[in-house]
Amino acid sequence: MVKGGFVGKILRVDLSRQKIWFEPLPEDPILRKFVGCWGLGLKLLYDMCPPGIHPLEPSNPLIFMTGPLTGIPGIPAANNTTLTTLNGDTGFTAGRSHTHGWFGPNLKFAGYDGIIITGASDEWVYLWINDGEVELRDSSKFLGKDTHETEDLVKQDVGEPKASVAAIGPAGENLCHGALIENDKNHSFSHSGVGRVMGSKKLKAIAVYGTGRVPVYDEEKLREVAKMWHENLFKSDVAKGLARGGIPRDEYNYAKSMSITSAKNFLEVSPPQWGVGMSKHKITPKPCFACPIACSYDIEIVEGPKKGYVATPAGGGENLEGAASIVGVYDSNWVFYLIDLCDRLGFESSTIGCTIALCIECYEKGLLKKEEIDGIE
């Protein structure tokens, strides 16, 4: 058995039967071969998923999986969690998505390396994991709430403000393509239509809080390696650029300077004014567990009709392009609002942006008629 890095248990939830139990983590050689996160998640998906099923069928599992470094203090950015399931958007491929923040570390602290959720509930529920205690609770009172509202309400409901909450918004509830699962407000499982799959199971949210620790095999060696990683990390210009909420300040402006940011459904590149003023807004870093970079951020819009609005955009610089310039929006006062609106509704912003951009081009070229899009021009 691999020593250290794993707590040794997977939480199993069958929503159809409202049953909760635990299974041991796979042992060697599977664990050494697939390690954790996407590797182990895809292996479990391959073993568990019946051939030929639709992603929205109850037998399609949601497999949340951490890695051996997740939740270990001192390791830079040791907070990753992945989700594997059949792709809710394509309908026929393996889907995978990942997130950062505090969800994975809290899951490990609660005593679990992962969660496997199967079945579908008859009524809307959410899952509450509080160290060794796990229960399904009614979530009907949260229906229609956006992801941020849901997180706040779930924390109030469980009475633990430090809990990490992963929730779907109206997009997931209504089984929309491009639906995501938002966690810790600034992060999300964004890709592969995972929010649509979660919505099909009538699972509104997962809340988790733990007080344990992740076992380590060799503490002294770990400190030595962690120190080396820290030193090398901040030799990187990329890490320096992303640090302290630097995504809007540096990443996009670099892409613009290289003329690689697309606009208007990839027909153009962004005009000169795009990217100007990204740094004028008030940025508050929101670091993930054990991460010295702190690229995640809240951003307060300082002027215009949305002045004072605080956005919590999940994701990286691709969202600045995928939700805004791709549809011809270049005013930074609106860019962050649009991304935040998508996150709150539970939509992956780049998916929505590209879809809208395609519709705009089709309308301009006469391929879509006004009456086909509810009279929108």
Tell me the pLDDT of the chain (377 aa) as tens digits.
Answer: 678 999 999 999 999 999 999 999 998 889 999 999 999 999 999 999 988 999 999 999 999 999 999 999 999 999 999 999 999 999 889 999 999 999 999 999 999 999 999 999 999 999 999 998 999 999 999 999 999 999 999 999 999 999 999 999 999 999 999 999 999 999 999 999 999 999 999 999 999 999 999 999 999 999 999 999 988 888 877 777 676 556 555 555 555 554 556 788 888 877 766 655 666 788 888 889 999 888 888 989 999 899 999 998 766 667 777 778 888 888 878 888 998 999 999 999 989 999 999 999 999 999 999 899 888 87
> Can you give the pLDDT at residue 258?
47
- Taking alpha carbons only, the member of 103, 185, 177 closest to residue 150 is 185
In the chain, ranges of CATH 1.10.569.10 domains:
234-364
8 A C-beta contact, residue 295 and residue 242: yes
The CATH number fitting domain 234-364, selected from 1.10.565.10, 1.10.569.10, 3.40.190.10, 1.10.10.10: 1.10.569.10
Q: How much of the chain is helix, strand and coil, in % rounded to 5?
A: 35, 20, 45
8 A C-beta contact, residue 120 and residue 141: no
CATH topology of domain 9-209: Aldehyde Ferredoxin Oxidoreductase;  A, domain 1 (3.60.9)
Q: Indicate yes or no: pTM above 0.75.
A: yes
Q: How far apart are the first and last CA of the chain?
A: 62
In the chain, ranges of CATH 3.60.9.10 domains:
9-209
> Can you give the pLDDT at residue 295?
82
> Can you give the pLDDT at residue 376?
84
Strand partners, 188: 182
> Can you give the pLDDT at residue 237?
74
Give the burial class of 180: count Cβ atoms within 10 A of its Cβ; 0-12 exposed, 13-18 middle, 19 or more buried. Answer: buried
Tell me whether the omega of the peptide bond preceding residue 29 falls within 30 degrees of 0, making it cis.
Answer: yes
